[in-house]
C-alpha cells in the first residue's frame, strides 16, 4: 500500500471493514438462527452489486469529464482544507438526499431504484443491492458541487466514503448508540424504517449519513410501530429472477402508461409518485398513510381532530 495516498488507504480500510463485518454478521445470524440471510437473496445482492460495478466502470470516464468540465466554470473556491472537506461531505450528503427523494417520489426513477428495496431480508449485503442504473444519472445531481469549486476526484471520493457509511447501517442487530447520535446521523434503526413496507414507514428516512435532512423536510420516522418491521416493497414481484428483479417495475410502468387514455395521463405515470393513477384506482404512499392514521386514531386523537 506504499504507493497509495491517504485517501486510497482510508477507502480500502473502510471496504475491508465492511467485508469483515458482513462475514461476522452472516456467521452470527447462522449460529444464532436469526435467519437474517437467505442464500438466493444474498446471491441476488451480489449479482446486482456486480452489475452496478460494471455500470460504474462504463460511465466512469464520462462522469469525471462532466464534473471536471463543470468545475472549470466554478463560482468560487474554498481554500481552507478542513472547511473544504466539511462543506463537501455535508452538501454531497444533502444532494444525495435530493437524489434519493427523487427516486421515491418520481416513478420513472423509482423504476430504477426499486431493486434496492425489493429484498425481503435486511443485512449488510442488502446495502450492496444497488440501483444498477443510477450511475447514468447520479452525476447530474452532483453538478452543484463542481460549481461550488470541488474537484471531480474529490466529489467521487466523498461519494465513496458516504456510500460505505450507508452500507454499514443495513443491519437488524440492535446497536446501542447515544441519543444525540441519532439526532444527527443515520442509524441502523432509521434505515430499517426506510427499507420497511409497513405503511407508516414508506418513503421515510432518505438520508445516507445525516438524518437532519429528513428531520428538516418532514420525511423522518422513528422505528416506533408495535408490529415488527416487514422488509421489501408493498407489491413484491412473484418472479425474483435476475432479469425480472431489474425490470419488473419498468414493465408495470409501461403497462400503466399504455393503458392511460391521453398523453397527459401517460406522462403522469412517469413523473408522479409510485401508486398514482389517472383514475384514482391505486394509491400513493402518502394517501395510504393518511388513511392508516385515520384508522388508527385513538379516542383522544379523534377529539383533537373534531375540535
Q: How far apart are CA 118 and CA 216, in angstroms?
A: 27
pLDDT on residue 4? 60
Question: Taking a C-beta distance cutoff of 8 angstroms, is the pair 29, 123 a contact?
Answer: yes
Flag whether pLDDT at 238 surpasses 70.
Answer: yes
Averaged over 88-97, what is the pLDDT?
98
Query: Is 80 exceeded by the pLDDT of residue 300?
Result: no
Lowest mean pLDDT among 71-85, 173-187, 234-248: 234-248
Q: Mean pLDDT across the stretch 132-137?
A: 93
DSSP 241: S
Instruction: Look at residue 270 in the predicted model and tell me its pLDDT.
Output: 98
pLDDT of residue 3: 57
Q: Three-state SS for 196?
A: strand
Give the whole-angstrom CA distance, residue 89 versus residue 154: 10
Cα gap 305→307, rounded to integer Å: 6
CA distance 160 to 169: 15
pLDDT over 80 at 146, yes or no: yes
Q: Phi first, then psi: what are they for 143, rounded to 5°?
A: -60, -35
- Torsions phi, psi of 79, nearest 5? -95, -25
Residue 14: pLDDT above 90? Answer: no
Is residue 171 within 8 A of residue 124, CB to CB? The reply is yes
> What is the separation, in whole angstroms, between the first and last Cα of the chain?
68
pLDDT bucket at 96, cuts 50 / 70 / 90: very high
pLDDT above 80: residue 86? yes
Top pLDDT among 299 and 36 is at 36
Please give the C-alpha separations between residue 303 and each of 73, 225, 296, 297, in angstroms, as whole numbers. Answer: 58, 22, 13, 10
Burial 244-283 (b: 16+ CB within 10 A, else e): ebbebbeebbeebbeebeeeebbebbeebebbbbbeeeeb
Using DSSP's 3-state secondary structure scheme, residue 286 falls into: helix
Comparing CA positions, the residue from 161, 152, 143 lying closest to residue 208 is 161
Check residue 298 and give its pLDDT.
60
pTM score: 0.92
pLDDT per position as a tens digit, 20-51 = 999 999 999 999 999 999 999 999 999 999 99
From CA 107, how far away is CA 2, in angstroms rounded? 47
Band of pLDDT at residue 195, cut at 50, 70 and 90: very high
Torsion of CA 273, 159, 205, 100, to 10 degrees: 0
pLDDT band, very low/low/confident/very high, at 242 (cuts 50, 70, 90):
confident
Amino acid at each position: 500500500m506504499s504507493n497509495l495516498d491517504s485517501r486510497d488507504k482510508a477507502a480500502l480500510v473502510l471496504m475491508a471493514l465492511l467485508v469483515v463485518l458482513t462475514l461476522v454478521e452472516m456467521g452470527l445470524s447462522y449460529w444464532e438462527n436469526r435467519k437474517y440471510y437467505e442464500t438466493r437473496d444474498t446471491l441476488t445482492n451480489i449479482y446486482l452489486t456486480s452489475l452496478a460495478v460494471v455500470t460504474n466502470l462504463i460511465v466512469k470516464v464520462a462522469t469525471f469529464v462532466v464534473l471536471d468540465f463543470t468545475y472549470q466554470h466554478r463560482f468560487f473556491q474554498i481554500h481552507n482544507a478542513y472547511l473544504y472537506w466539511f462543506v463537501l461531505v455535508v452538501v454531497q450528503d444533502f444532494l444525495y438526499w435530493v437524489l434519493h427523494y427523487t427516486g421515491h417520489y418520481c416513478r420513472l426513477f423509482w423504476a430504477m431504484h426499486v431493486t434496492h428495496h425489493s429484498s425481503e431480508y435486511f443485512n449488510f449485503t442488502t446495502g450492496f443491492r444497488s440501483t444498477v442504473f443510477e450511475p447514468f444519472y447520479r452525476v447530474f445531481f452532483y453538478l452543484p458541487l463542481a460549481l461550488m469549486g470541488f474537484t471531480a476526484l474529490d466529489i467521487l471520493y466523498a461519494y465513496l466514503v458516504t456510500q460505505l457509511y450507508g452500507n454499514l447501517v443495513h443491519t437488524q442487530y440492535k446497536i446501542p448508540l447515544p441519543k444525540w447520535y441519532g439526532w444527527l446521523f443515520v442509524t441502523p434503526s432509521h434505515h430499517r424504517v426506510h427499507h420497511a413496507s409497513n405503511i407508516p414507514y414508506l418513503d421515510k428516512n432518505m438520508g445516507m449519513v445525516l438524518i437532519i435532512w429528513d428531520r428538516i423536510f418532514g420525511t423522518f420516522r422513528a422505528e416506533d410501530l408495535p408490529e415488527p418491521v416487514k422488509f421489501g416493497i408493498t407489491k413484491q414481484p412473484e418472479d425474483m429472477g435476475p432479469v425480472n428483479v431489474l425490470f419488473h417495475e419498468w414493465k408495470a410502468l409501461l403497462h400503466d402508461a399504455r393503458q392511460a387514455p391521453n398523453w397527459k395521463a401517460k406522462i403522469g405515470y412517469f413523473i408522479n409518485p409510485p401508486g398514482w393513477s389517472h383514475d384514482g384506482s391505486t394509491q400513493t404512499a402518502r394517501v395510504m398513510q393518511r388513511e392508516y392514521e385515520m384508522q388508527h386514531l385513538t379516542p383522544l386523537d379523534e377529539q383533537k381532530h373534531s375540535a
